[in-house]
Amino acid sequence: MAAVDLRNVSKRFGDALVIKGISLSIAKGEFVSLLGPSGCGKTTLLRMIAGLEQTTSGSIMIGGTESTALPPEQRDIAMVFQSYALLPHLSVFDNVLFPLRMRNIGSKQEQTKRVKDVLEMVQLDHLATRKPRELSGGQQQRVAVARAVVSRPQVLLLDEPLSNLDARLRENMQEELIQLHRQTGLTTIFVTHDQEEALSLSDRIILLNEGRIEQEGSPSDLYSAPTTRFSAAFMGSSNILDVELEVVGGARRARLSSEDVLPLSIGHSGLSTITFRQEDVQLAPASGTSCRAQVETAIYLGARVRYVVTVGAHRIRCLAADGKQFKAGDMVDLRIAPERIRILE
């Protein structure tokens, strides 16, 4: 039985159809990220699962129960908002206790034990008497997560909970969310526009584009094997080139200029679009035996150097280890393993 099952769900605001017939099944204990740019529908979809927005059509099942028309408090879900929404006049302990009292879950002794256990799990038991204003942003975020999981809901919904944190703290909280998921086994749906967060946290990523599922799969699937131009452009820094594909003597290749081609492992003849990652490009001193490129820009990044090179009318970005450095104007050989080049739909 799926923890969450969406069946042809749509949502319309006035004349605008923002969710366009999405069907999605999420397994019990799975960590799924809804990923996409602003306005793609990911938060609207999450709010429909939570019951904060009503569907225009379609159905939502939670734990095998028809939940499309149920109010939020009857859906056995918990949600962490971007703003955390902590009660400022209550202590950390009482903020976490609040949902247990509101829903009358357990005796007073059981409630106290649950709160102590979950505060220990998020490493805030020593701050139980403090008010939210006395906490850092990361500590407030952990209180919000503790409050969400204390009632042991079937599904935990996270709406961009890390977006208000600085880069260092965001990394720490990503690690803590991974540990929390391992400890609780909660089915988790995480909304983010940050591909790094989705890649690091998820069992599965649902990439949304204009209210539809563009691509879904494991983090490695979406990163290494994008199927559309949108997926390739959104997931990481890919090179996307419109080229002429050829098959010559059984050899498949992509023509970048009148003189320069890249070998392919698969392909056909005709105009098409190829994509490959920056880190898949290798540069070497020009020998005249490979695809030749000219260095346009070299940007030092510490452990790596980002180069922008040109081949014919194409500009290609690549990441190279900090070793042999080329400078603007240098001619180089450009090599990419054929199996690392994908042909897009």
- CATH number 3.60.15.10 is the correct assignment for the domain at 237-343: no
Return the pLDDT at 218: 97
Return the pLDDT at 172: 81
In the beta sheet, which residues pair with residue 132? Answer: none
d(CA 226, CA 20): 22
Return the pLDDT at 321: 79
**Domain ranges across the chain:** 4-228, 237-343
Q: What is the pTM of this model?
A: 0.88
Q: HSE of 121 in the Cβ direction (CA atoms, 13 Å)? A: 23
Domain 4-228 identical in fold to domain 237-343: no
Return the pLDDT at 169: 78
Tokens representing 20?
């366009």
Task: Give tens-digit pLDDT for 185-228.
Answer: 999 999 999 998 999 999 999 999 999 999 999 999 999 999 99
Return the pLDDT at 288: 74
Cβ-contact 320, 345 below 8 angstroms: no
Task: Give tens-digit pLDDT for 70-103.
Answer: 999 899 999 998 787 899 999 999 999 999 998 8
- CATH number 3.40.50.300 is the correct assignment for the domain at 4-228: yes
Low-confidence ranges of the chain (pLDDT < 50): none
